[in-house]
Structure 1
Amino acid sequence: MNRKKMLMSLAMVILAISGAVAQNKPNNNASDATIARPKLVVGIIVDQMRWDYLYRFYNVYEPNGGFKRLLNQGFSCDNTLMPYLPTVTAVGHTCVYTGSVPTIAGITGNNWYDNNTHKTVYCTDDASVSTVGSTTKAAGEMSPRNLWVTTITDELRLATNFKSKTIGLSIKDRGAILPAGHAANAAYWYDYQTGNFISSTYYMNQLPEWLTAFNNKKWVDTYYEKNWSPLLPKATYEALCDADVNDYESQPFGKDQKGFPYNLEKFKGKDYSKIASTPYANELLENLAETTIANEQLGKGNATDFLAVSFSSTDYIGHAFGPNSWEVLDVYARLDRTLGKFFDYLDKTIGKNQYTVFLTADHAGAQIPEFLAKHNIPGGRADDPDIKRSLNQYLAEQFHQPNLINAVWEFDVYLNHNLIDSLQLNQAAIEKSIAQYLQKDDRVLTVVNKAKAATASLPVNIREMIVNGYTPKRSGDLQIIMKSGVMDAGKTGMSHGVAYTYDTHIPLLFYGWGIQKGHLNRTTYMTDISATIAALLKIQMPSGCIGQPITEAYRNN
């Protein structure tokens, strides 16, 4: 072979090798053959986190804790709202991960009355599967089968030909299952009877060895030994909070424990449910998140992985003590440090700027009505079972038939259609009678026919929230709109679920790979979150998504 031909052959070999190397090296340019993506996406939901906690508690957060790191190094959307009713846990987790609303996604509440089967349904109920990891039968009969659309986690699995791993973790079953999606590798949630994390046969036939080993350490007993005393100086709570002890707060640790410090040692080995109402449930979940990442080798493969983490104890504590309590301030101060520890772990194991995080809430929460009353601010209580009982009594007098109401969930009134049809009663007359009766109640603002909500005499955003929350198979017929401050709750504590901003204004922060530093004041919506992550990853958005990417959050990689 002459010299010229030898040089040409050598050049061709070099070009071939260069091309192969170019296809296998990490990409940061859209023009490269391999699409640039982070190694890991971590979705964090803080259950019942009001947006204002970012700033009300700002001065107690650590410089390198979770919240200041997200606020000062990430991108914050300061006016993110929820566009549907009811504003409750299952619907919020669904919306974050699907970009969809109940009318499309099918998750219309934590519970609903199924108008076809005539039964009350829990959002993740699935009698076709069994518990894995516990003898507590009902705790694991759960799956995402009631969800009608795909999640962003499903779409990531589809985009990578199922090479991505997606796992959901939470104390609450619905907080793990709905974000993890239909095609998840796993979802793990807490069994309040045994103190273990469990799953269902929808995902696996037995727990992985590493999770069994984690459960065998009986972490909850270790946390109980710490008891619960205030983390911060007493003066900090006095400056930012209501009194420590109030009659209108609930007592999740027993009637003998009405304020700090709380004795938790008494529950060791006996009652594993109490951990959920302490900050230690967040620490337990973060511990599990680190253990999951290490043992499942998340972020170590050739495809982007996704870990969905939902912190639930903020919701339990919020319900019991309210937004202005010492306990709520304490749990957020501790969660800040827990998140800081988690981000340090991600920096060390995945690599700084090699992962993307978003943090949001599934809903916010109202002030305790009696706390508002002390300050001359309107509010009140109304209980769904009481509403159902009084309506059935009233309608029996008017129409001479009992049980014309099947259910009331989150101020959503379900008529007994079978009974009404069989007796050939006038449904319009019944609905009119219900509206007239309820509007005599000073707590009620108005009553809306959900099928006709688009033309109701209400501000457009509230009309749209009712429309977005309505699907005939799983929704009621009439939506009661209470006055501001009136909540569906018992005699103590607080709740959420309505259309007012104290329930609908949530935090939304992005951080890490692909995200620039900054903040945004224009209105964004919970439905935009999955669209934003989909665009960042260059994958299809979830099938029912109605949101738009928040493009201001992106930076060039």
Structure 2
Amino acid sequence: MMRRALVLFMVLVGCGSTPPRTSAPSARPRLVVVAVYDQLGSDVLAAHLPHLDPDGAIRSAIARGRYVQRARYAYSATLTAPGHAAIHSGASPRDSGIGSNRVFVLGRGRVSAMDDGTHRVWGRDDAGASPFRLQAETVADVIQSERPASLVVSLALKDRSAILPGGQHPDVCVWFDAEAGGFTSSTWYAPAMPEWLASWRAREPFEAAMETPWTPRDPAALEARFGPDVQPGEGAYGFDASFPHDARGLEDADAFRSLPSSTDHMLALGREIAARFELGEDDEPDLLALSISTTDYVGHAFGPSSWEYADVLLRVDRALGDFVRELEARVGPIALVITSDHGAAELVERTHASGHTDAVRFTSESSLPRLEAHLRETLGAPPEGATAWAEGWVQPYVYLGMREPRVIEAALAWLRAQPGIGAAVDARAVAAAPVPEGESLDALIARAIPRDPPGDIYVMPAERSVAMEDMPEGVGTSHGSAWLYDRDVPVIVVGPQFAREEITDVMPQCRVAGTIAELAGVRAPRFACGAL
């Protein structure tokens, strides 16, 4: 417990150094790194893989480890928060309690699903954060129970992507929040920002990473692969469809996360943390959970078959490769798991061009008033005291003002008739019923809904259609469905137990958590279903 107590002291008071640590030779890797490339489906990686840098993290890991081409999620809520919970716990949303990225709160609107309303985010008075919704134990929780001298560090550009991998009480858990002035955390983890993080933020302001416009490394190669830079349906977060992309002066809070330099900035903090907390420098294996969100923002704005996505994947993958090599130069061989939380659909314009003209892009913001108008036409005005029949629509849930059978039935009838919607169900009724066996659509939806659903009606897009949120009308793509382009993700494992091998059979995604646990030398968390 001495090492953990020392780390806690550093977090609370910002201690500048630790006493020297000694170690004896060990066959077990002393550091397990789990890197999630947000929004990297199996087919998308297969298309981009030949064009990635051999020295990048992905190809160098494939060259020396086990490459599972398809690990398949067993639920339909293929979103960032459920995916990160599943990677580190093995649990579907039904068991993890994590069914969405955001939730609707009356009087506040759309808020992070991590916001507990109690534990204030450092640097903000209007947001909280903690793992309060997480019901499943994670590998991090098991490590801290079985190996109390080991350290758990979780670092990401999104709150959910740092909080969920870290479990209940990680030693360090930080994420980026532009409104908080940069990388931050919450009072769940420590009363205030430690001096070391405040000092690093002062030395490395994130705004500096926005000063240089983003230009493609090899325009000729990109044009040969994808055609002209500008394509229909591209552009979001303040960026238009064409390179260069200049984030200076943009007011969209997600503009920074959309730049390759945001991953560089995050990994710079990772280097600071690894050195300061001496990760991997004794015989108790530490866990470093990283999440690269830049691919997700770029994928949403430009699609997976765009100049931007290809360029950003190449850049962030090379940056992670450099980071891994630096770690190994300092601590020796590490264990590495590379995977993704979900895939994504193509831009509907590309889908139309391929002959699937039934693909639809719809937004919750524009659909909610139409649903409310239908309910008023069908049911009349809401009763006194109710603000609306349908108060909110935050993917993937509609939030009703009144949970009466007639309201649910009328809302379901309208939703199921809309182009682009593949399924709409009473979330609480599904949560109360047994989960069907197998991978039928009903089973995938049942596992997607937590036992205590955050909303009233679960909505899933039809195949090749996309449900958008926080995006301008007519652009972008998304995920969050039962279709295989969303559910199938790659997994690459490097470690002494894993010989070089390429596996083409589909594997259950719930084995990833067991694999991480095996690398760390601890038992698998409850909902893991074996190892890869």
Q: State if a TM-score over 0.5 links the two structures.
A: yes
Q: How does 1:91-490 map to 2 (within 5 A)?
A: 91-113=82-104, 122-132=112-122, 134=123, 136-138=124-126, 141-160=128-147, 162-193=148-179, 195-232=181-218, 234-254=219-239, 257-264=240-247, 266-267=248-249, 274-352=255-333, 355-378=334-357, 379-402=359-382, 403-417=388-402, 420=404, 427=405, 429-450=406-427, 451-452=429-430, 460-489=439-468, 490=473
**Mean Cα displacement is larger for which, 523-532 or 322-331?**
523-532
- Deviation of the 1:302 alpha carbon: 3.4
For the residues of structure 1 that align with 2:73 and 2:169, how far apart are their CA atoms? 26
Structure 1 residue 61 corresponds to structure 2 residue 44: no
**CA distance, structure 2, for counterparts of residue 114 and residue 547 of structure 1:** 35
Give the alignment's TM-score, normalised by structure 1.
0.82
- CA separation of 1:221 and 1:390: change in aligned 2, threshold 3 A: closer
Alpha-carbon shift at residue 267 of structure 1 (Å):
4.0
Residues 399 and 281 (structure 1 numbering): CA distance in 2 closer, same or farther, change over 3 Å? same
Task: Write the distance in 1 (CA, Å) between the matches of 2:190 and 2:88.
Answer: 22
Deviation string, structure 1 residues 140-187 (Cα, Å, up to 9, x no partner): x21112212221111101111x21111111111111111111120121
- Against the structure 1 CA distance between its residues 242 and 449, is the aligned structure 2 distance closer, same or farther, given a 3 Å change threshold? farther
Q: Measure, in 2, the Cα distance between the counterparts of 1:336 and 1:283.
A: 10
User: Per-residue deviation at 1:495?
Assistant: 1.3
> Which consecutive unaligned segments of at least 5 residues does structure 1 have?
1-23, 29-36, 421-426, 551-557
Whole-Å separation in 2 of the counterparts to 1:342 and 1:49: 20
Judge conservation of contact 1:356–1:514 (CA < 8 Å) in 2. no
1:542 lines up with 2:525 in the alignment: yes
Q: Residues 94 and 491 from structure 1, CA distance in 2 versus in 1: closer, same or farther, beyond 3 angstroms? A: same
Please, what is the CA RMSD of the aligned residues?
Answer: 2.9
Letter in 1 for 2:512: I
Change (3 A) 1:434 1:346: same
Measure the CA separation in 2 of the matches of 1:281 and 1:330. Answer: 14
Alpha-carbon distance in structure 2 between the residues aligned to 1:147 and 1:240: 42
Deviation at 1:92, TM superposition (A): 0.9
Superposed displacement of residue 527, structure 1: 1.8
**Alpha-carbon distance between aligned partners in 2 of 1:457 and 1:198, rounded to the nearest angstrom:** 41
The aligned amino acid for 1:349 is R
Q: Compared with structure 1, are the counterparts of its residues 138 and 432 closer, same or farther at alpha carbon in structure 2 (3 Å cutoff)? A: closer
Preserved CA contact (<8 Å) 1:243 1:325? no
SS in 1 for 2:440: helix
Cα offset, 1:446, TM superposition? 4.5
- Counterpart position of 1:516: 499
1:44 aligned counterpart, secondary structure: strand
Q: 1:77 aligns with which of 68, 77, 88?
A: 68
| Partner SS state of residue 337, structure 1 | helix
Displacement of 1:511 in angstroms is 1.1
Structure 1 position 110, deviation (Å): 0.9
Query: Which one-letter code corresponds to 1:143 in the other structure?
Result: S
Corresponding residue of 2:9 = none
Q: How far apart are 1:299 and its partner, in Å?
A: 0.7
CA distance in 2, matches of 1:480, 1:273: 25
Partner secondary structure for residue 131 of structure 1: coil
- Runs of 4+ that moved beyond 6 A: 117-120, 453-459
User: How big is the shift at 1:324?
Assistant: 1.4
Asked if structure 1 preserves the Cα contact closer than 8 Å seen for 2:77 and 2:448, the reply is yes
What amino acid is the match of 1:292? I
List gaps (5 residues or longer) in structure 2: 1-22, 383-387
Q: CA 1:219–1:240 in structure 2 vs 1: closer, same or farther (change >3 Å)? A: farther
Identity of aligned residues (%): 27
Query: 8 Å contact 2:114–2:160 — kept in the other structure?
Result: yes
Distance change in 2, residues 1:65/1:487 (3 Å): same
Match 2:510 to one of 522, 527, 531? 527
**What do the CA deviations read for 1:278-309 (whole angstroms, capped 9, x no partner)?**
11111111111111111110111331111111
Equivalent residues, number: 498
Instruction: State the shift of 1:70 in Å.
Output: 1.5
**1:365-385 alpha-carbon deviations (Å, 9 max, x no partner):** 111112222332231112223
Given that residues 114 and 474 in structure 1 are in contact (C-alpha distance below 8 angstroms), is that contact kept between their aligned partners in structure 2?
Answer: no
**Cα shift at 1:237:** 0.6
Aligned counterparts of 1:212 and 1:395: Cα–Cα separation in 2:
50
C-alpha separation in 1, matches of 2:179 and 2:439: 45
Distance in 2 (CA, whole Å) between partners of 1:202 and 1:190 is 16
CA apart distance, 1:525? 2.7
Rg larger in structure = 1
Paired letter, 1:165: L
Indicate how the Cα distance of structure 1 residues 119 and 548 shifts in structure 2: closer, same or farther if over 3 A, else same: farther
CA distance in 2, matches of 1:144, 1:120: 18
Secondary structure at the counterpart of residue 226 of structure 1: coil
Partner Cα distance (1:434, 1:212) in 2: 49
Partner of 1:33: none
> Bigger shift: 463-472 or 277-286?
463-472
| Residue 34 of structure 2: aligned partner | 43
Distance 1:404 1:220, change over 3 A: closer
Q: TM-score, normalised by structure 2?
A: 0.86
